[in-house]
Amino acid sequence: MNDRIKRGVVLFLVFTVIAYAAIIFIYLRGFPKNAEMNFRWDFILGAFFLFAVSTLFNILRVFFLGRIFSKSFTFSDSASFTLGGVLLALITPFQAGGMPFQLYIMSKRGISPGEGTSVLVSRGVQSVFVFAATIPFTMFFFSNLLSGGMVENLIKYFLVLYSILFLTVGIILAFTSRIKSGVSEGRMNEKIKKAVLKILDEVQNFRRGMQIMITKGLRESILSLLCAFISLYGSFSLTYFIVMMANGKNDFFLSFNMQFLLTYLSAFVPTPGSSGVAEGGIALFYSQVIPKSATLPFIFIQRLVTTYIPALMGLLLMFGKKSILKEIK
């Protein structure tokens, strides 16, 4: 695992360095020598406060979901789940590397893989709810700000992607029993059949987990959804203070909506931690908001607060002296 993490970090750094170099030589056409940043205490305090709020409620949203299935699931488990997932997402394509680790954390607290998968899926569904609640406002706000149908194309992209995902999951859940019967009666290698049936068993566990979350765990599910809104809105909002540090346009809603779109776009980028694409996207989106000379420090600080620091916290939780991997036996 350590070797894989090291390789992932190296790939992430390579893509990130290439992205910064491309921004310098293509977008900025040379290293900006006149970049000025305004590190006022109120800007720093505002960014730090929203970072703390976003991180805390991101941990709490998992804590409430985990407690539905296991009362031994602690806040520390949730922190390791969340921030360790950030680290592993940073070094894997499509930010998918955190899921096996997160399932492992939950399994050590007596949560089955199927139930754990329902927690992971529920987090994803929460993000969809946040997207659905926010995108109408974004469409209205950006109607006269972005040209070329950018927002319209982004919306179509998200709608098609999420529709395919939910349709696929829905079909599997609706016909699990029939699929299982067909596999049991079908002719195939016994090892393959055994593996497929085990997966289908976990699919049924996942379905039961989702049913529990909307019945016995309804209160915790609602609290988790509320935490998701607070966490994501805090994350979308903190970029405003970084814009102000870069002497950018004093427009909170513009910064909020740009970060909202960037966050959802970066989740589906095949490079580790969206490296390369995220930096280029920030430069493109915020080109009308901040001075061109401040682009590089702005990108670095924005990524530092939203990505690098949470990943470092995840690294400390995973491999530090009080690592949950050492506590669980």
Per the structure, the count of domains in the chain is 1
In a domain, 138, yes or no: yes
In a domain, 32, yes or no: no
H or E element: which one contains 216?
none
In a domain, 312, yes or no: yes
| Residue 227: per-residue pLDDT | 96
| Residue 200: per-residue pLDDT | 79
Q: Other CB atoms closer than 10 Å to residue 327's CB: what's the count?
A: 12
In a domain, 186, yes or no: no
| Residue 34: per-residue pLDDT | 73
| Residue 252: per-residue pLDDT | 93
| Residue 164: per-residue pLDDT | 78
In a domain, 175, yes or no: no
CA nearest neighbour of 82 among 92, 74, 72, 93: 74
In a domain, 269, yes or no: yes
In a domain, 78, yes or no: yes
- Nearest-angstrom CA–CA distance, 246 and 299: 10
pLDDT one digit per residue (tens) for the chain, 329 residues: 556 666 667 777 787 888 888 888 877 777 777 778 889 999 999 999 999 999 999 999 999 999 999 889 999 999 988 998 888 877 776 566 677 788 888 988 888 887 888 898 888 889 888 988 888 888 777 765 554 555 566 666 666 766 777 787 777 777 777 777 887 777 777 778 777 777 777 777 777 777 888 888 899 999 999 999 999 999 999 999 999 999 999 999 989 988 998 888 777 666 666 777 778 888 888 888 898 888 888 999 998 898 889 888 988 887 765 555 555 44
Instruction: Give the global pTM.
Output: 0.79
Collect all residues with Cβ–Cβ distance below 8 Å to 32 and sequence separation of at least 6. 292, 293, 294, 295, 296
- Nearest-angstrom CA–CA distance, 124 and 131: 11
- Domain of 236 in residue numbering reads as 2-16+38-148+218-327
| Residue 328: per-residue pLDDT | 47
In a domain, 126, yes or no: yes
| Residue 221: per-residue pLDDT | 92
> Which three-class secondary structure state does DSSP give residue 124?
helix
| Residue 143: per-residue pLDDT | 63
